Amino acid sequence: MNEALISLIEAAKKVPQTDSDREKQRRSFAYGNTHFENDMITREMVNRIAKQMAEKKKNG
């Protein structure tokens, strides 16, 4: 890797990740892995299920 890329990676490691950032990344990961296996899966489906799961967790 060149020095510029190494510097950017090191700087990125120091940026705090918010809960919102983590949730976006989790949904993106879920979409990418499921869509790869089944192209009928959409981002909207992943978002809908994630919201349902959050509500279920919130309500116990």
Q: How far apart are the first and last CA of the chain?
A: 47
Q: Containing H/E element for 36?
A: helix 19-37
pLDDT at 1 over 90: no
Rounded distance between C-alpha atoms, residue 44 and residue 14, angstroms: 31
- In the DSSP assignment, the letter for residue 15 is S
Give the number of residues written for the chain: 60
Which tens digit of pLDDT belongs to each residue from 3-52?
Answer: 999 999 999 999 999 999 999 999 999 999 999 999 999 999 999 999 99
pLDDT at site 16: 95
- Residue matched to tokens 């950017």: 8
pLDDT at site 35: 94
